[in-house]
Structure 1
């Protein structure tokens, strides 16, 4: 995964036409090649919860070297909420601690995406 656009193209099918929020993680090897995409939560219309410990437990089990986070906004609004920013910061700090960096967090809608990395919010 060498760009947010490439990650978006890989993840988009998981989020097509959803009326509720879901959270997925892309697990990558040392060459930033995809190991697996894993769904971690299904939420409601206005939110979903993800536990950072679970993200990295799966990453350790898969021998992942990095992760890309992704969730959708069924409303079509690509702008991250304060809650999105807060959880991204927490997950990023956890990843740094265990040397499994968060390379990006994408907010996906039916009409595009927002990349925390591209907007220098990581």
Structure 2
């Protein structure tokens, strides 16, 4: 019988003391904005993941999903597999609205709830979900009491 070998690895390449600390939605927005693909922000939705340690130092930011003009599919299993692999204590997610609307859609609200509930089971804090526009504006689910 043959069974596939499973190998899981992660190596932090930057010392924690050299990474930003997230203490507000504005801090999170600024980090996401620096990492965003600005060539596509007006054309298609993208979904990004910010990984945090227990002290809210940024471990990394990753674009995890790309979609179309008005939506992007989200797979919570992939988000949490990345958070678990990197031993992250918290996450913040963000996606853009090419339309420049800051109003969360029903699917935006549903995925936020799903991630929040999944995080509770895995002991990973889902701290915020940001909606970002090409105009450098953002909506924070946490600031609006929706977390």
Whole-angstrom distance in 2 between the partners of 1:2 and 1:16: 24
Asked if 1:31 is matched to 2:52, the reply is no
Find the counterpart in structure 2 of residue 72 from structure 1.
96
Please state which structure has a larger fraction of its residues in strand.
1
Alignment of 1:100-119 (within 5 A): 100-111=124-135, 112-119=137-144
Structure 1 vs Structure 2 CA RMSD? 0.9
Q: Which of structures 1 and 2 has the larger relative contact order (alpha carbons within 8 angstroms, sep 6+)?
A: 1
Find the counterpart in structure 2 of residue 8 from structure 1.
29
Runs of 4+ in 1 over 3 A off after TM superposition: none
Deviation readout 1:11-61 (Å, 9 max, x if unpaired): 113053521000000000011000010111000000001111111100111
> SS at the partner of 1:5?
helix
Residue 110 (structure 1) shift: 1.7
Whole-angstrom distance in 1 between the partners of 2:33 and 2:146: 21
Which blocks of at least 5 consecutive residues in structure 2 are unaligned? 1-21
Give the TM-score taking structure 2 as reference length. Answer: 0.81
Which blocks of at least 5 consecutive residues in structure 1 are unaligned? none
Q: Larger radius of gyration, structure 1 or 2?
A: 2
Whole-angstrom distance in 2 between the partners of 1:16 and 1:96: 33
Whole-angstrom distance in 1 between the partners of 2:103 and 2:32: 18
The equivalent position to 2:110 in structure 1, one of 77, 86, 95, is 86
